[in-house]
Amino acid sequence: MSPVRRGKELPIHNRLAVLRAERGMSRAALANAVEVNPQTIGALERGDHYPSLDLAFRICSVFDLPVEAVFSREPFMPLSTQVYREGGA
């Protein structure tokens, strides 16, 4: 199964690298968990390709997070910015 090519408009941003780092997970480990090639994970992290809906769900299942916590049409702010803004507002 190959990832979907990226579109020029309405990009899909993701937190894959951050989520992997938090869990001490390599690209190869994530790739193995979702049954894709490690290069596919790298391409997704760089934004060179977008996941199919099926692959997005499999990735979110690994992290036990909803799709909107992992993928977004808008760039993600650093989590520290979100926490401090919500805590201070």
Q: Model pTM?
A: 0.79
Instruction: Please tell me the predicted confidence (pLDDT) of residue 1.
Output: 46
Please state the CATH superfamily assignment of the domain spanning residues 4-88 in this structure: lambda repressor-like DNA-binding domains (1.10.260.40)
Q: Which class for 5: exposed (0-12), middle (13-18), buried (19 or more C-beta within 10 A)?
A: exposed
Residue 85 has pLDDT above 90, yes or no: no
Residues 18-60: tens digit of each pLDDT: 999 999 999 999 999 999 999 999 999 999 999 999 999 999 9
